[in-house]
Structure 1
Amino acid sequence: MISPVLPTYARAPLHFVKGEGTWLIDETGRRFLDLGSGIAVNALGHANPELVAALTEQANKIWHLSNLYEIPQQEALAQKLVDVTFADTVFFTNSGTEACELAVKMARKYWYDKGQPDRVEILTFSGCFHGRSSAAIAASGAEKMVKGFGPMLPGFVHLPWGDHDALHAAIGDNTAAILIEPVQGEGGIRPLPDQCLQGLRKLCDEKGILLILDEVQCGVGRTGRLFAHEWAGVTPDIMMVAKGIGGGFPLGAVLATEEAASGMVVGTHGSTYGGNPLGCAVGKAVIDRISDPDFLDGVRARAGLLRQKLEGLVAAHPDIFEGVRGMGLMLGLRCKVAPADLVKAGYAAAVITVPAADNIVRLLPPLNITEDEIAEAINRLDQAATSLETA
């Protein structure tokens, strides 16, 4: 008999009833150190007082307004994002998947309005993950994403990761945009080297192609900068954002330059809940906090400490780990054992991690994790690794 909740997830038998910062507490009172953050969502931890205050204050005023009207909280968050990024304009969504849908529409509408309606192809790369909607799975093209869901939305060209010759060969008269994650998350914490992102920007400029960056997982302070592309000193034309921007409240956004967004006029896109007062009030509190230079300095310092200690963990368990990779507080342990086994062993040691492709276990702790909590995280990961060695 099917469960009341559609069984599309293989859920761990854990029942959390409360969260406090970097900690999750189950129904027995056991405290788990959360190094997953709801897959990079709880950027400021669980029940963060600043976010609770922002949500509570707004909840006592008004919850929902249709986008038929002006929404002050939405305008305030949009202005903040414009002030601290490359963008000239913002559209708010409820998720990263919805952001992908709009990014694809925006790129294609741009060329349609330029008198080039056949310019619809979007180049993507192996290992990518842009969501689970029809456009997002078509962008991925991976068999595990698309099998059984055909016919696929056309217009996506799938290229091998890191194959420059294939990239240049794929560009043609119908190429509208390149879509890429500065750091692949689901694909196994694979950072795009700065010189490659710089090369993509240069290539897009030379060919007149739009550059779309998916910073759903790697953005909002996760790498130690407000957005990961800042490390390379380049800017996109369109950027997808979600996860951390709401700190746990469902919120996403598409940021764009005025030129890239020029085709999106009245009636071309909409959302019932996107940019609602509750989400934007929380999002504004998140961005105010995380965009502070002192906060980002702290993220980089904590990331350096965690990376150093993880390298020691890998050296101490050569039969379990191969190495560490990633940026900031978006790190991956490459395993010699099945990632699922390490995740499960972590549950026994009361530490939460997240599996990914390429034998990676992801570590995505809240950005305000403390030094003491980092030490405890290493201790619990050490316990998990030891249990696998002795099993």
Structure 2
Amino acid sequence: MKATSGLQQGLRVGDVLHCKSPCARRVRRKVCRVQAIAAPVREETGSVPNATQFTQDLIAEEKKYVMQTYARPELVFTHGEGARLYDAHGKEYLDFAAGIAVNALGHSDPRWLEAVVEQAGTLAHTSNLFHSVPQVRLAKRLVEQSFADKVFYANSGTEANEAAIKFSRKHARLAAGVDPYDAKAEAPHEMVSFTGSFHGRTLGALALTYKDAYKIPFAPGVPGARMVKYLDLDAAAAVIQKGKTAAVFVEPIQGEGGIFPANREFLQGLRDLCDEAGALLVFDEVQCGLGRTGKLFGYQNFDVEPDILTLAKPLAGGLPIGAVLVKQHVADSMKPGDHGSTFAGNPLVTRAAETVVDIISEPAFLQSVIDKGERLRSGLAEALKGNEHVKEIRGLGLITGIQLDQPAGGVVTAARDEGLIVITAGAGDVVRLVPPLNITNDDVDLCISILSSVLNSLQNQNQTV
């Protein structure tokens, strides 16, 4: 077996299974132990023995031991493959939620799995007190394919946005010429965001998030947050001011807010306003970034570059990671000790992310996302033509929203009963479709068939009433 060193890729799973070295034997034992912890055991049909009782017992224990902060259906998924999920009864579901736009390559992608198993058997975590190879390789990939000069790693989207807030405020203090470590020094610190926005649930990111129900129970919030109407440049110009504004946070395509794409005029206008005010422009691409729109990064659809861009959901294909991409003038504002994270960017998650980025960044892959997104929206428009409950179908690439004239929860439930997983967005009146990026055309057509059946059935029921 040939040894590797430096930045060369590690052993492949096949090599590990056949190599006789002590190191390979240790990895084999680890892989076998992981395979042995398959829970729960499934029958040949894919179902769990006594599936109904198993589901009831598991949900009862979940309610007993897990904080009840999620409203979940009485459904237990046990495994997944590609764009399919399977519950304890063995029922198959077409997954057009992808873990809220996380599973960019679907479930158990063999290339992703190989990378994760290899790295888990080699080195999973060291902390950021030391260098590690996958962390550097991933940063190089992200920088060389974007506007950015440097990368900072986090563990999630909200943590990435928290980091962006801190970077922006320190940058503003330095730009104002004050000592950044002087507690009495004053400098621009306001953060501007927009109606319909969602930037996370930690207190800093939450202050920039639109929905009051997420914020009021935890008041008072972080001071300095200003919110204005999305896509309204005049409203933005009224609050983005030199001497006050440190940064402007915007999603090039709002996800949680209802799948609302921005436009070039608005984003370029924000770029100009930030330049005039000496503020930083931050693009939150936690949901719309990394191939979701058919471009590697969402901003590339609009030809407007930010100073900071935040990534998370799809980056490691299901493992928790966040990343903040920054221009050099932002990176120069931060010094050792200013910010950090124990788990962020560890070898396991960054190795998984390398694989995801390599697959998604292929031009043919990105073009397929564009083609399948157009197929999805045009197919839905045709199938739902004349449905009085469908007000608009909008999106870009494989992020699509169906705007209804009523709550979408019933549609989500009915679709799930028919074997299709979709989720809501907006004010709960949008059906959100964010499938794995490697779905097939047949998957797209099946989604159209199920959703059109459910929505047209809804209209027929209302007409009968």
Question: Corresponding residue for 1:182?
Answer: 252
Are 1:234 and 2:304 counterparts?
Answer: yes
CA contact (8 A) 2:229 2:235 kept: yes
Which whole-Å deviations, capped at 9, do the CAs of 1:223-258 have from their partners, x for residues lacking one? 110111101111110011000111111111001011
Secondary structure of the corresponding residue to residue 275 of structure 2: helix
Once the two structures are TM-superposed, the CA of residue 141 in structure 1 deviates from its matched residue by: 4.9
Whole-angstrom CA distance in 2 between matches of 1:73 and 1:314:
46
Residue 154 of structure 1: which of 217, 220, 223 is its match?
A: 223
- What is the Cα deviation at residue 313 of structure 1? 2.4
Superposed CA offset, 1:63-116 (max 9, x none):
111100001110110011011011111111110010011000000011112225
Residue 123 in structure 1 maps to residue 192 in structure 2: yes
Q: Tell me what 1:99 maps to.
A: 160
Is the partner of 1:200 in helix, strand or coil?
helix
Which residue number in structure 2 is paired with residue 290 of structure 1? Answer: 360
Distance in 1 between residues matched to 2:210 and 2:423, nearest whole Å: 23
Q: Distance in 2 between matches of 1:142 and 1:25?
A: 33
Q: Indicate which of 331, 335, 348 corresponds to 2:404.
A: 335
Q: Which amino acid aligns with 1:56?
A: V
Asked whether 1:354 is paired with 2:423, we answer yes
Within the alignment, does 1:20 sit opposite 2:89 as a pair?
Answer: no
SS of aligned partner of 2:191: strand
User: Counterparts of 1:1-391 in structure 2 under 5 Å?
Assistant: 3-114=64-175, 115=177, 117-172=186-241, 173-315=243-385, 318-358=387-427, 359-391=429-461
Identity score, percent: 43
Greater RCO between the two (CA within 8 Å, min separation 6)? 1
SS at 1:259 equivalent: helix
Task: Describe the shift of the 1:141–1:390 C-alpha distance in structure 2 as closer, same or farther (beyond 3 A).
Answer: closer
The whole-number CA distance in structure 2 between the counterparts of 1:198 and 1:170 is 17
- 1:68 aligned counterpart, secondary structure: coil
Secondary structure class of the residue paired with 1:355: strand
For residue 124 of structure 2, what is the amino acid of its counterpart?
Answer: W
- TM-score between the two structures when normalised by the length of structure 1: 0.97
Distance (Å, rounded) in 2 between the aligned partners of 1:348 and 1:361: 15
**Aligned equivalents of 1:95, 1:37: Cα separation in 2:** 16
Q: Is the 8 A contact 2:104 2:314 kept in 1?
A: yes
Q: Quote the offset at 1:293 in angstroms.
A: 1.1
Total equivalences in the alignment:
390
For 2:91 and 2:454, locate their aligned partners in 1 and report how far apart those are by CA, in whole Å.
17
Q: Which amino acid aligns with 2:212?
A: E
SS in 2 for 1:334: strand
| Secondary structure class of the residue paired with 2:267 | helix
Note if contact 2:384-2:452 (Cα within 8 Å) is conserved in structure 1: no
Q: Deviations over 1:36-87 (max 9, x none)?
A: 0011000111111110011011011011111000011101100110110111
Using structure 2 for the length normalisation, give the TM-score. Answer: 0.82
The whole-number CA distance in structure 2 between the counterparts of 1:323 and 1:286 is: 32
Partners of 2:407 and 2:240 in 1: CA distance: 38
SS of alignment partner, residue 158 of structure 1 = strand
Match for 2:79: what amino acid? Answer: K
Q: Is the 8 A contact 2:412 2:423 kept in 1?
A: yes
Give the deviation of 1:389 after TM superposition: 3.5
Q: Which moved more, 1:318-327 or 1:216-225?
A: 318-327
* Secondary structure of 1:244 counterpart: coil
1:281-309 Cα shifts (integer Å, max 9, x gaps): 00000011111111111111111111110
Unaligned 5+ segments in structure 1 are none
Q: Residue type of the partner of 1:112?
A: R
Larger gyration radius, structure 1 or structure 2? 2
2:29 is matched with none
Residues 156 and 321 in structure 2, CA contact (< 8 A), matched pair in contact too: yes
Matched residue type, 1:127:
G
Q: Is the 8 A contact 1:130 1:136 kept in 2?
A: yes
Query: Amino acid of the residue matched to residue 92 of structure 1?
Result: Y
Distance 2:389 2:236 in 1: 36
Contact 1:345 1:387 in 2 (8 A): no
CA distance in 1, matches of 2:166, 2:283: 14
The answer on whether the counterparts of 1:349 and 1:383 sit within 8 Å (CA) in structure 2 is no
| One-letter identity of the residue aligned with 1:325 | R
- Post-superposition CA distance 1:130-187 (Å, at most 9, x none): 0000001111253212112112111111112222222111122211111000001110
Contact 1:324 1:334 in 2 (8 A): yes
Contact 2:256 2:426 in 1 (8 A): yes
Which shows bigger deviation, 225-234 or 160-169?
160-169
3-state SS of paired residue (1:11) = coil
Q: Does the residue aligned with 2:201 lie in a helix, a strand or coil?
A: coil
- Cα offset for 1:336? 2.5
